Amino acid sequence: MRQSFLKFTAIVLIGVNAVFSSCTNAPEKPGINTPVSTFSLDSVKEAIAAGNKVFGESFATGDSTKFANCYTSDACINPTNMPKICGAQEINAYFYGGYKMGIRNVKLTTDEVTGGNEAVAETGSYEVFADKDQVIDKGKYIVIWKAENGKWKMHRDIWNTDMPPPPAKK
C-alpha cells in the first residue's frame, strides 16, 4: 500500500512538473518556432512620409475618404481644446468641420520615428494653411502608427498648438 502511494505521488509530481514546464514565459528562440520579422524602420519612415503627404493633400481637395483612410478603423484623435474623438465616422466629421472652416492644407514635419513591428511613434511639428498659403495654426504632434491590412496608418493622434490663445472677452 505504501509503495503504491509513493508511485502515485511520483507520477503526480512528474505530471505537475511537466505542466508547469510547458507554461514558461521564456521567449522562444528566433528561427525555431517563430517567424523572422521583416520589420524595417526605414521602410516605415517612408510609409509615414507618404501617408503624411496624402493627409495634407486631402484638405486641398476636400477628399474626406482619402483623409479617413489615413487612420486605422479604430483610431482616436485628440485635438487641442476638445475631447477625444474615436471612430472613422466621427474623425471624418471632424475633417469636414475643418475643411468647412477653411483649412486647405496641412504640412507635417517628422522629427523622430521610433518603435517596432507592433507600432511606431512619430513626433513632429505641423502647420495648417488656409487659402493662399496663409498659416492659421502651427504646433507639435505625436502619432502612434499601426499596420492595418498591410498598410501603416495613424492609430492615435494628439496635437497642440504653439499659437497664443485668443484674448479674453471683456
Global pTM value: 0.75
> What pLDDT, on the 0 to 100 scale, is given for residue 37?
58
Please give the chain's pLDDT, 170 residues, in tens: 545 444 444 443 344 343 333 344 444 433 333 343 588 999 999 999 999 999 999 988 999 889 989 999 999 999 998 999 999 999 999 999 999 999 999 999 999 999 999 999 999 999 999 988 899 999 999 999 999 999 999 999 999 999 998 888 88
> What pLDDT, on the 0 to 100 scale, is given for residue 169?
87
Separation between Cα atoms, residue 30 and residue 33, nearest integer Å: 7
- Number of Cβ atoms within 10 Å of the Cβ of 17: 10
- Number of Cβ atoms within 10 Å of the Cβ of 110: 15
Q: What domains are defined for the chain?
A: 41-161 (3.10.450.50)
Separation between Cα atoms, residue 27 and residue 3, nearest integer Å: 40
Measured CA distances, 147 to 44, 72, 126, 131, 150 (Å): 10, 8, 23, 33, 6
Separation between Cα atoms, residue 39 and residue 131, nearest integer Å: 39
CB 102 within 8 A of CB 130: yes
